[in-house]
Structure formats: structure tokens, C-alpha cells
Structure 1
């Protein structure tokens, strides 16, 4: 059964294969502003070696720490991988707080499912599993956004209790309670 885990070295082969799937979709180009796109550009050339992948995993884990140096406008973020055994299925990042930009387009939680694992309920299961983790980080209601034309992602957010707030540009914005107490 799939589970959310902190990034680990043991899924390297499956992770590299998943990133190749994303690249085949055009992810990683200079105009790709997604988490996956940025990581392909920054780390993609080193993932194939165990040492390079281990460095990437350490960097991802460090992003959750408050005192880790980061570019201006970036906040601590906990990255979790959705895996089944050694198979990487997807990823999710929980941003610990919102900046003005994240309030507009990024939200607290972003997720991706590898292309070959889509349409099997993984995104809904990941988001649902992440909500108590977000609550543990002090996030009572998580802002989750999706592109206007991403019907699948909208359905995921709504299935997890997302309440539509508004549309800003090409983004739809939803608030999702992170625990039953915050839903009251």
C-alpha cells in the first residue's frame, strides 16, 4: 500500500525513471515554474549517481528546517514522497507558511503524480494523508491551488474537502481543513 515518506535514497532508480516521464511531457524547460521543473533543472544531471542523488535527498530534507539558507521569498517546506516499496509514485510539498506570492498562486500544498501512475487515486490519497501533517505544522486550513483547466486536480482538492474561494488569473484557490477540529 502506498505511503507518504520523507525523501530516501532507496527509490533512486524509480525516481529517475519518473523524472524521465515528466521530461517527456516537457517538464524541466526554462519556463516550467513547478517544483518538478525546478528540480530537474537544478539536480537532474546528478540524480544518476548514488552520491548525487543522496545530496539531492539531503537538500530536500533540509528545506524543512527553519534555519536552512534559501532564496528570498522562499519558506521552509516539507517534501514527502508517495511510494510503494521502492516505487516512486509522486511527491507533495507542504509550505510551512504563505508569502504574498504563495497566497496568490502556490498555496500551502503542491503535488505531482508521475505520468504512469495517474488516474489511480494517488493524488487524492496523498493530499488526504498530508492534511494531518500540515495540521502538525500549525496550518489549520491549507490553501491549495490548481490551474483553471486542471479538472483532475480540482476534483482531488474537492474530494479532500476543499472549499472554493476564488480564481486569480489562471489559478483556482481552495481552502482545505487540515483536521476535523479545524473543520468545525
Structure 2
């Protein structure tokens, strides 16, 4: 599987916009949250991602995070990962270090497992050795992806609306 992670870049604007439009058209929740950022002013969006990685211009209570795009040899954007550099209490319960998503037309092809594997290499580079990854209890595909990468189940977290968040720890 010839895929790799790359930092968001102007050179991939057309491919990223295709990814974004496909996801929007699906009507699904934008996961990870960072893909919900409006890309209509692409340079501004890229700068906000760079600022977030540096910990600059963050909303109150937010932590620095790094975003990478999963691309193939044709430079098609297949997925996105967002890595939080540290955990707040909220992230410890329901967000984790890593949030990721694969574009709807590219699911069930093994890309999520590869994306998470490559993401663990990035967490190690950042200095995070014990990594928390979470998913909704109803998302069996994501739970399998996490376990395929060595995720060890921890206690679940129940949100105020009753949604159950499965929590997994992994080593990077």
C-alpha cells in the first residue's frame, strides 16, 4: 500500500477540496473535527493548521495539534489525521490524542489501519509514547482499526447524552 502522511500544503489544494466536497456531500459528521474548517480561503485554512501546531491563536482551553493528510502515489487525499499534543480532562474522556477519518469512497480498503499506524510514528516524533485513541461504541470499524494497531481497551466514557465512548491505549 503506497500511501504516506504529508503536512497540509498548497500543492494539494485541488485534491484536498475534492476530499472535502466528497465528505460534505455524504452528509456525515466531519471527523476528525479539523476537516470541518472552511477551505474556501485555502491559504487561511493552511495557516490556521500551522498556527495550531505551534500552539498559536488557539481557542481558550485548546491544546496544540498537528494535522496530516494521507495521500497515495497519485497525490489523492484519502484521509486526515489530527494529533493532539497533550490531553485536557475532556480529551482524556472523549477525544484522545488521535482523531482520524477516511474519505467515504475509500473506506474498507485498509487505509484507516495504515493511517493510524503512520500516526503512531508521528506521536512518537512529538514525544507522546502512550497514546489514547477513542471511538463511539457503535463504530465497530474504528474499534477494529484501533485494536489492529495494538489498542488496549480501557474504561468506557459515557457522555451526557448517553453516547458511549470506547477508550483504547496504545504505545507509539
Structure 1 length as normaliser, TM-score?
0.84
Matched, 1:121 2:110: yes
CA deviations 1:44-74 (Å, max 9, x no partner) are 4x1xxxxx212212221221103x0211121
Matched, 1:89 2:87: no
Work out whether residues 3 and 70 of structure 2, in 8 Å CA contact, stay in contact via their aligned partners in 1. yes
- Could you tell me which residue of structure 1 aligns to residue 36 of structure 2? 38
1:172 maps onto 2:166 in alignment: yes
Contact 1:7–1:81 at 8 Å: present in 2 too?
yes
Q: Which runs of 5+ in 2 are unaligned?
A: 159-163
* Residues in 1 aligned to 2:35 and 2:126: alpha-carbon distance in whole angstroms: 26
SS class of match (1:72)? coil
User: Counterpart in 2 of 1:134?
Assistant: 123
Query: 2:60 is matched with which residue?
Result: 72
SS in 2 for 1:10: helix
Contact in 2 for aligned 1:144/1:174 (Cα 8 Å): yes
Cα offset, 1:75, TM superposition? 0.4
* Conservation of the 8 A alpha-carbon contact between 1:14 and 1:87: yes
In 2, Cα distance between the equivalents of 1:83 and 1:53? 18
Preserved CA contact (<8 Å) 1:75 1:95 = yes
| CA distance in 2: counterparts of 1:79 and 1:34, whole angstroms | 10
TM-score by length of 2: 0.89
Measured in 2, the distance between the counterparts of 1:62 and 1:116 equals: 30
4+ long deviations beyond 6 Å? none
Work out the number of aligned pairs and report it.
165
